[in-house]
């Protein structure tokens, strides 16, 4: 689905990514883990061309989009659903309008169709009946689920999640992890998930990539990660800080 080769990113004169190679297979969940500030969120943005790479290739369904012009990116973006760090709902819109936004704007569905589809989506994420509420009235876990409903409204081929479980309690984390798995099982979607929650990574990933200071320093299945003898992977797994912790 996505294959990144030899990717470098430079922002404000600072090298953020060095020689990244990553493959996200169709219908699978690829998880990227790594410490705070290592470049995960920027990677998702570059990979989907919300930010520009410095050099390298980004194949999306076999087409290199790394340096595609803005207007040629429109059809690519329509195939991608985003669940941003923090959910990023429109505070002034109720949940119906948040979820139905793209259906109205992009698919030009009638109000009645939007209502039906939005009801289905909310039901699918386990939030039946919240359509008339506003984001501020929902818990963090509910907002994350609304964010997921919105991201999949257009039936994208790829869903990109940035820290979907950060700040959630263990039960809500489980609910969100289950939804990521349900997306794969029921809708055959491809997901790329950025997280620093190792337990979530083990539960959802087919393939895990570990990023460190802008480079990929390990890749494997959850099982391979658990059994890895690589010292840096073990340090991360066991929660040991390496060098001074940046706050
Ligand atoms: N627009 C930007 N311009 C310049 N530097 C940036 C920009 N956005 C991010 N950075 C820098 O890129 C680095 C990686 O940031 P990024 O947000 O990708 O980290 P992260 O791995 O997602 O961290 P966290 O786990 O805390 O979310 C940081 O050093 C950050 O300061
Ligand atoms: Mg981040």
The CATH number of residue 32's host domain is 3.40.50.300
Domain total of the chain: 1
DSSP state of 28: S
Coil, strand, or helix at residue 167? coil
Q: Is 98:135 a contact under the CB 8 Å cutoff? A: yes
Residue 244 covered by a domain: no
Ligand nearest to the CA of 47: 1
Atom 20, ligand 1: which residue's CA is nearest? 37
| Residue 234: pLDDT band with limits 50, 70, 90 | confident
pTM, 2 dp? 0.92
* 13-48 as b/e: b if 16+ CB within 10 A: eeebbeebebebeeebbbbbbbbeebbbbbbbbbbb
% of the chain at pLDDT higher than 90: 75
- Which pLDDT value is given to residue 229? 85
Token pair of 96 as six digits: 């119906």
Distance, in Å, from the CA atom of 171 to the CA atom of 183, rounded to the nearest integer, reads: 19
Residue 134 covered by a domain: yes
Given a cut of 50, whether residue 35 has pLDDT beyond it is yes
Atom 4, ligand 1: which residue's CA is nearest? 11
Helix, strand, coil % in the chain, rounded to nearest 5? 40, 25, 35
- Which pLDDT value is given to residue 245? 46
Residue 246 covered by a domain: no
- Which pLDDT value is given to residue 239? 76
Task: Please report the atom of ligand 1 found closest to the CA of residue 42.
Answer: 18
Given a cut of 70, whether residue 247 has pLDDT beyond it is no
**How do residues 195-231 score in pLDDT, each as one tens digit?**
988 899 999 999 999 999 999 999 999 999 888 888 8
**How do residues 76-118 score in pLDDT, each as one tens digit?**
999 999 998 776 889 999 999 999 988 887 777 888 899 999 9
Given a cut of 80, whether residue 243 has pLDDT beyond it is no
Given a cut of 70, whether residue 180 has pLDDT beyond it is yes
Task: Please report the atom of ligand 1 found closest to the CA of residue 39.
Answer: 18
**How do residues 125-150 score in pLDDT, each as one tens digit?**
999 999 999 999 999 889 999 999 99
Distance, in Å, from the CA atom of 239 to the CA atom of 8, rounded to the nearest integer, reads: 28
Which distant-in-sequence residues (6+ apart) come within 8 Å of 12 by Cβ? none
Residue 245 covered by a domain: no
**44 sits in which H/E element:** helix 40-47
Q: Is 89:98 a contact under the CB 8 Å cutoff? A: yes
Given a cut of 90, whether residue 168 has pLDDT beyond it is no
Domain that holds residue 54: 2-237
Q: Pick the more confident residue, 236 or 160.
A: 160
Residue 2 has φ and ψ, to the nearest 5°, of -130, 135
CA distance between the termini of the chain: 35
Spell out which residues line ligand 1, taking CB within 6 angstroms. Answer: 11-12, 14, 16, 34, 36-42, 196
Residue 71 covered by a domain: yes
Atom 27, ligand 1: which residue's CA is nearest? 36
């Amino acid at each position: 689905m996505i294959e990144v080769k030899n990717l470098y990113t430079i922002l404000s004169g600072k090298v953020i990514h060095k020689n990244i190679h990553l493959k996200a297979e169709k219908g699978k969940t690829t998880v990227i883990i790594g410490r705070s500030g290592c470049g995960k969120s920027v990677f998702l943005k570059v990979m989907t061309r919300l930010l520009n790479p410095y050099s390298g290739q980004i194949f999306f369904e076999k087409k290199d989009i790394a340096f595609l012009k803005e207007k040629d990116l429109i059809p690519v973006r329509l195939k991608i659903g985003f669940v941003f760090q923090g959910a990023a709902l429109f505070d002034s819109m109720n949940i119906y309008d948040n979820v139905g936004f793209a259906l109205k704007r992009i698919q030009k569905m009638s109000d009645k169709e939007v209502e039906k589809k939005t009801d289905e989506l909310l039901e699918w994420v386990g939030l039946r009946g919240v359509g008339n509420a506003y984001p501020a009235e929902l818990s963090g876990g509910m907002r994350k689920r609304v964010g997921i409903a919105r991201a999949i409204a257009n039936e994208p081929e790829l869903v990109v999640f940035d820290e979907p479980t950060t700040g959630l309690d263990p039960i809500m984390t489980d609910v969100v992890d289950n939804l990521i798995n349900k997306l794969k099982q029921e809708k055959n979607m491809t997901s790329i998930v950025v997280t620093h929650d190792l337990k979530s990574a083990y539960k959802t990933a087919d393939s895990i990539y570990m990023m460190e200071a802008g480079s990929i320093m390990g890749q494997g299945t959850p099982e391979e990660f658990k059994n890895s003898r690589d010292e840096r992977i073990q340090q991360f797994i066991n929660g040991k800080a390496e060098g001074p912790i940046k706050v």
